[in-house]
Structure 1
Amino acid sequence: MLVGVISDTHGLLRPEAVTALAGVEHILHAGDVGDARILDALRGIAPVTAIRGNIDHGGKCAELPATDVVELQGRLFYLVHSVTDLDINPVVAGVAAVVSGHSHKPSVEVRDGVMYLNPGSAGPRRFNLPVTVALMTVGESGVDARIVELL
């Protein structure tokens, strides 16, 4: 299963992000959506699981949960906007991957058998960081992820 991961759109869904996510079977949005129409557009590509971030304090984005868990291909994915707010022990909970955003810094790291994935920011460029999303492959052998630079 191919899963698209996006975060920190801050009200901007770039055409390059839409292109990068084409063909995925599910999309995870790790917060700071900025405009609910972004989630509507992403739902045109695949089903979406989304959480709110620290800028999502008005409208429909404010109604998103602060954290969420989704099961894909028999594996659990835990979404939290800032990894510093992680409120579970992912090893004990049997989580395959913790998906976060907030820092705008893309990263893929495995600790204690759990993947920690931050797709970076797909919205307005900030702090001279790259504009990115991530693609995850979920299968019988596990979870693999790669960062995709958009610009």
Structure 2
Amino acid sequence: MRIGLLSDTHSYLDPAILTHFANCDEVWHAGDVGDPAVLDQLEAFRPLRAVYGNIDDTVVRQRLPLNNAFEVAGLPVLITHIGGYPGRYTPRVRKLLDTLRPTLYICGHSHILKVMMDKPRGVLHINPGACGRQGFHKMRTAIRFTIAAGRVQDLEVIELGLRGKID
């Protein structure tokens, strides 16, 4: 199972995403979608698993959950938008991690690309950074990876260009 992971589009879906995710089976979005048209484009492209973020309005919030917990290819996954990272989880996410026990935890919000292991919990944490044009990040990023036999493999960081650059 090949996954394309993005977050913090803030109403801008770079057309290059569709090229980079062409060989992906699913697309996952870790919140702050912005314009519902971004959801429409992604859903028309590939099966989509997503959550809403703090900037998303009621239209997006009616279409997406706050938390998305599921299993795919033997891998238990938890996606939420705001949640922190190993050693600095929000209380809400700490409780979810301890209850659901995923082995892959994904969040967005910080606009900071981060991939790190939470060894005590046995959880791989991924924040794909931000691929939209709004925020303080310099480089727009996304991630692509494979899930096989319950493990994340072949993880790749995709750089989409500078945040302020006009295509």
TM over 0.5: yes
The TM-score normalised by the length of structure 2 is 0.82
Q: Normalising by structure 1, report the TM-score.
A: 0.90
Which residue in 1 is equivalent to 2:165?
A: none
CA contact (8 A) 2:4 2:144 kept: yes
Moved over 2 A (4+): 87-94
Decide which structure has the larger Cα Rg and report it: 2
User: Distance in 1 between the 2:71 and 2:32 partners?
Assistant: 22
Question: Which amino acid is the alignment partner of residue 139 of structure 1?
Answer: A
Shift in CA distance, 57/22, structure 1 to aligned 2, threshold 3 Å: same
1:109 aligns with 2:116: yes
Tell me, yes or no, if structure 1 residue 96 matches structure 2 residue 100.
no
Count of residues paired in the alignment: 150
Structure 1 unaligned residues grouped into runs of 5+: none
| Aligned 8 A contact 1:30 1:101 in 2 | yes
Deviations 1:96-151 (A, max 9, x none): 21110000111111112211000111111532421011112101261133321111
Whole-Å separation in 2 of the counterparts to 1:104 and 1:126: 7
2:139 counterpart letter in structure 1: P
Alpha-carbon shift at residue 94 of structure 1 (Å): 3.1
Show CA shifts across 1:6-64 (max 9, x none).
100000001112211112111111100001111121122211011110001232x1212
d(CA) in 1 for partners of 2:74, 2:99: 16
- What displacement does 1:89 show? 4.9
Does the 8 Å contact 1:96/1:143 carry over to 2?
A: no
Match of 1:123 in 2: 132
Cα distance in 1 for partners of 2:103, 2:46 equals: 21
CA contact under 8 A between 2:73 and 2:150: conserved in structure 1? Answer: no
Percent identity for Structure 1 against Structure 2: 32
The more displaced of 41-50 and 23-32 is 41-50
User: Which piece of structure 1 moves more, 83-92 or 61-70?
Assistant: 83-92
Q: Which residue of 2 aligns with 1:149?
A: 159
Say yes or no: does 1:9 pair with 2:18. no
Q: How does 1:57-96 map to 2 (within 5 A)?
A: 57-59=57-59, 61-63=60-62, 64-84=64-84, 85=90, 86-90=93-97, 93-96=100-103
